[in-house]
Structure 1
């Protein structure tokens, strides 16, 4: 009887003296990810660097004179929607001093990336002329521009608005909004890239790059 009591007492002491099992840890609640800071306000001039597979192109956007167009452009830049787009067109004009023409890039109406069209800012309003290195919005009718634009290789005054013209298209012209400040050698290499003899419709046939030249990133740059 004493042995049995001693054995029970020993087992009880072992159990009661054993350290308690660690309580399960409470899961630490995930911290909410703070929203990204709002983009910095735009000054009169906004610098942007476009890195292409053929090299970088630095742009100076004229926000002071073309605010609607530049603010629209920067929405695409800050949202990184231009990353991965391509230069898909090179218009080569046979007349005049060479190189003569333009190259074109953008999102080509991609419904997953384009914002609503913007109001047209004619050169007669902004004072920005279509000179070599100028950036100009592509469009159908005035007020339909979204995300596609051209870089001019030469002066193309025919793209400027002419308020005295009888033709409505000539009166409106195209919306210029900035210029290339470095990298025109890269623009020339894009312009010199191979063209497809069959791709494109109407006036664009024979102007489509094959293969297109990829744009890797488009980012704000430090102001000089």
Structure 2
């Protein structure tokens, strides 16, 4: 009787440990980085999304990816040292739905100080106006852009932008987009000379 009871509790304890281990493993898997492929008319851009380091921003971006909302969108803006009106000057390409459309609620601002993801060459980050307004527009850095990090003066609030991943393959495509002619008329004088004449179509964005 005692042996049977002991064996029962032993088996139950082992099953409990296994269940906890399994659930913990699932939790860890859910926070792993995610690879995506951004297919443009110039070729593919492979990007690693830092879900663990920047979970708020990454999950928002992946909502747009998984919903197919970036399919048939575009890169429409190229910022160079020559046409940039901000300070310090930067070099990036910007893409998305064409304006900061909120198909989902705008997200809390996730700083580079919090995430540890700096604006280095090939890093992808979210465009924003005021803090907490990031939604659908993103940009990719050409070269290191420390002026976009937390504490720097690119924005008056010095909160920087929310970086959340990095290009792992396809920077030649990014640079080709960056070199496109950009004289399309703009409503906002700040971006005059930065709007790409023929926006570069993003055919689709998907998990890899």
Q: TM class, shorter-chain normalised?
A: 0.7 to 0.9
CA distance in 1, matches of 2:193, 2:74: 17
Question: Are the counterparts in 2 of residues 200 and 206 from structure 1 also a CA contact under 8 Å?
Answer: no
Gaps of 5+ in 1: 1-40
Partner of 2:126: 137
CA distance in 1, matches of 2:93, 2:187: 14
TM-aligned CA deviation for residue 94 of structure 1:
3.5
State the TM-score, normalizing by the size of structure 1. Answer: 0.72
Report the number of matched residues.
174
CA distance in 1, matches of 2:136, 2:111: 17
Check if 1:175 corresponds to 2:162.
Answer: yes
Partner of 1:115: 104
CA distance in 2, matches of 1:76, 1:151: 17
State the TM-score, normalizing by the size of structure 2. Answer: 0.78
Check if 1:194 corresponds to 2:184.
Answer: no
Deviations 1:166-217 (A, max 9, x none): 9973431110000000000000110111111533522211000011000001
CA distance in 2, matches of 1:101, 1:167: 13
Partner of 2:86: none
More helix by share: 2
Question: Are the counterparts in 1 of residues 91 and 141 from structure 2 also a CA contact under 8 Å?
Answer: yes
1:205 alignment partner, one of 181, 192, 196? 192
CA distance in 2, matches of 1:146, 1:167: 20
Partner of 2:149: 160
CA distance in 1, matches of 2:66, 2:127: 20
TM-aligned CA deviation for residue 43 of structure 1:
3.5
Partner of 2:7: none
Between structure 1 and structure 2, the one with the greater Rg is: 1
Question: Are the counterparts in 1 of residues 33 and 48 from structure 2 also a CA contact under 8 Å?
Answer: yes
CA distance in 2, matches of 1:86, 1:205: 18
Deviations 1:126-182 (A, max 9, x none): 1100111010100001100001000000111010001xx799734311100000000
Gaps of 5+ in 2: 1-28, 84-89
CA distance in 2, matches of 1:83, 1:166: 34
SS at match of 1:108: coil
Q: RMSD of the TM alignment (CA)?
A: 2.1
Question: Are the counterparts in 1 of residues 105 and 135 from structure 2 also a CA contact under 8 Å?
Answer: yes
CA distance in 1, matches of 2:129, 2:100: 15
SS at match of 1:74: helix
SS at match of 2:158: helix
Partner of 1:49: 37
TM-aligned CA deviation for residue 114 of structure 1:
2.1
SS at match of 1:171: coil
Question: Are the counterparts in 1 of residues 119 and 141 from structure 2 also a CA contact under 8 Å?
Answer: yes
TM-aligned CA deviation for residue 109 of structure 1:
3.7
Question: Are the counterparts in 2 of residues 103 and 191 from structure 1 also a CA contact under 8 Å?
Answer: yes
